Amino acid sequence: MKSYQAPEATAAAKVASEQAHILIALTNQFAGILADMAAERTAAEAVLAEGYRLDLMHEALELAETSLGSAADALQSQQYDTARDQLGMAQAKLVQAVASGSGAPALRAANVARLTTIQARGEAAARKIAEGHEAFDQVDEFAETSWSDIQGNGSEAEAAADRAHEHWERAQQQNSMEVQAFVAAGEQLDAAEQELTYVDQLIEAIITRLQDLETARASARELLEEAERSIEAGLAFVKANDPDVSKAPEQQLHEAAQQLAVAQQEAAQAKPDWLRLATAATTADRLADAALASARGEAESMEKLRQQVEKLGPLVSGEINKIARFINLHGNDIQATTTASVKALVQRFEEAQQAHKQAGTWEEDRRRTAFKEALEAYSHVQTESSVVYQAALADTQRLEQLRTDLNSTLTEARTALEEAERLAQQAGKRTPSGAKKQVTQARARFDKIRLPITGEEELKQTIEEAKAIAKEAREAANEIRSHTSRPSGGGGGLGPVIIMGAGRRGGWGGSGSWSSGSSSGSSGWGSGGRSGGSFGGGRSGGSFGGGRSGGGW
């Protein structure tokens, strides 16, 4: 341990331990074989009195001793694999020695029992060969190509049976007390059993083939008729649903017809190959059934697609029409981005309509593709239409608020302007020229505002214009009040007169009527002409269209 590091010492100890285990196991096996050999020599002495010879036993034990010697040499040189092989050979020779020595009476008795059993199997094989002969005589009724796989089976079975009998006879001789080759006799019996098994397989193949031929011949006509019916049914369905069915079922039916032709051609032979006929007819029937199932599936799938498209199309069309009408009515209120979305949606809808239309004229795979494209496009439009409509609605609602703001601003401007005009009329010549000019210009700007006001920018600009007009009118009114409230050369002011005149009918000095609260010179808005009126109806606080408070169409 002083000369090793701890890991190296541990590894070396592990290797030594493993080798020790191997060595112990091999030496134990060596000692066991040696002890068994000694025991066999003692036990074999007992069978000498029964007339058994031990020469084969001694020969086997000598060979076992030779192997043990080689194993001992290998163990001393630490060639453990070689030692293991030699010990295996020694064990095998020991088994042979026991069979030829102390185990000879038991082995001989087992061989006797097997001889009886194998003799019975041989006799049964002879009867089976005769049955095979009888069956084989009937194959002449069938085409030779249908039973080529069993040609020679009978003669080969007879040869195998003969070889089995020879093995059985040699086993009888070797198992006698005269010969005493009991191990060899057992090997002969093994060979005889293998040959008899081969006989059974050969004859069974003949009988099975004959049964298959008879079955095929009996069912051939029925198989042909069934194949014909299946092909006719498939062709009829494909013809009736040709635009909805792809080429694949047609190709399968074509292949089925080819197989049916093979079967019919074989049936016309003097000696038909019934198995070939049955195979071809069955294949034709299977292909025809598969084609019909595929065609039905395609037709059902196409019909489902058609129904989905035809149900969804009108629904989507209604949504598109709703959006189109809305855009036509409120086009100027819609933002460019929303308009672009509407155009894209309409284009997608037109693509869906085109695909739907083409599906009605195209056939097979092109029709299916067109229906799928139409369904996908309709579904997209259906999903997006609500989004686009909400965006358009939001645009109009935002502008509706701007129009409400504009109505309010115009009302304020009108009120301020009419107040300034009334003050100017009452003040007459005392009206300051600057204020009078400002009122006149404000009125001109106000009268230039024309309905309808459309577009977000125009609405915002008009609101700002109306605010500016109202501001200028109020400034002019304030200037007139300020100027006329000062004492004049006649010692009187106009303040009280102005205040009283605002509510009186007939105006002041006969210079205009104020019966409706508006200036006779005012152009008014809409048809109502009422103070605080609005577009269309002219009612106080009104809005576009109906002029009702908080309303709107």
Question: What is the spatial distance between Cα 156 and Cα 479, in angstroms, rounded to a whole number?
Answer: 139
For the segment 64-109, what is each residue's pLDDT rounded down to a tens digit?
889 999 989 888 888 989 989 988 998 998 888 888 788 888 889 9
Give the model's pLDDT for residue 189.
95
User: Kindly report the CA angle at 509 between 507 and 515, in degrees rounded to 5?
Assistant: 15
Give the model's pLDDT for residue 517.
36
Alpha carbon 427 to chain centroid distance? Answer: 89
Question: What is the spatial distance between Cα 503 and Cα 422, in angstroms, rounded to a whole number?
Answer: 11
| Domain spans, the chain | 14-102, 221-304, 334-504
Task: Find the helix or strand (DSSP H, E) in which 282 lies.
Answer: helix 274-330
Q: Which of 264-268, 482-486, 530-534 has the lowest average pLDDT?
A: 530-534
| CB under 8 A, 24+ apart: contacts of 238-241 | 238/291, 238/295, 241/295, 241/299
For the segment 144-172, what is each residue's pLDDT rounded down to a tens digit?
676 777 778 888 999 999 999 999 999 99
Q: Is the pLDDT confidence value at 175 over 90?
A: yes
AA identity, residue 61:
L
Q: Is the pLDDT confidence value at 537 over 50?
A: no
DSSP designation for 523: -
143: pLDDT confidence band, cut at 50, 70 and 90? low
Q: Is the pLDDT confidence value at 503 over 90?
A: no
3: pLDDT confidence band, cut at 50, 70 and 90? low
Q: Is the pLDDT confidence value at 548 over 50?
A: no
453: pLDDT confidence band, cut at 50, 70 and 90? confident
Find the largest Cα–Cα distance for the chain: 182
127: pLDDT confidence band, cut at 50, 70 and 90? very high
For the segment 287-311, what is each residue's pLDDT rounded down to a tens digit?
999 998 988 888 888 878 888 887 7
Alpha carbon 212 to chain centroid distance? Answer: 44
Task: Report the share of the chain in percent with pLDDT over 70.
Answer: 84
Q: What is the mean pLDDT of residues 176-202?
A: 93
For the segment 468-480, what is each residue's pLDDT rounded down to a tens digit?
999 988 988 898 8
Question: What is the spatial distance between Cα 293 and Cα 287, in angstroms, rounded to a whole number?
Answer: 10
Which residue is listed with tokens 């006149």?
A: 440
Closest CA to 119 of 171, 157, 156: 171
Indicate the angle between helix axes 6-48 and 55-76, nearest 10 degrees. Answer: 170
Neighbouring CB atoms inside 10 A of 75's CB total 20
Question: What is the spatial distance between Cα 299 and Cα 303, in angstroms, rounded to a whole number?
Answer: 6
For the segment 252-297, what is each residue's pLDDT rounded down to a tens digit?
899 999 998 988 888 777 778 877 888 888 999 999 999 989 888 8
Neighbouring CB atoms inside 10 A of 449's CB total 15
Question: What is the spatial distance between Cα 144 and Cα 150, in angstroms, rounded to a whole number?
Answer: 10
Handedness of CA 332, 334, 340, 346 (dihedral sign): negative
Q: Is the pLDDT confidence value at 402 over 70?
A: yes
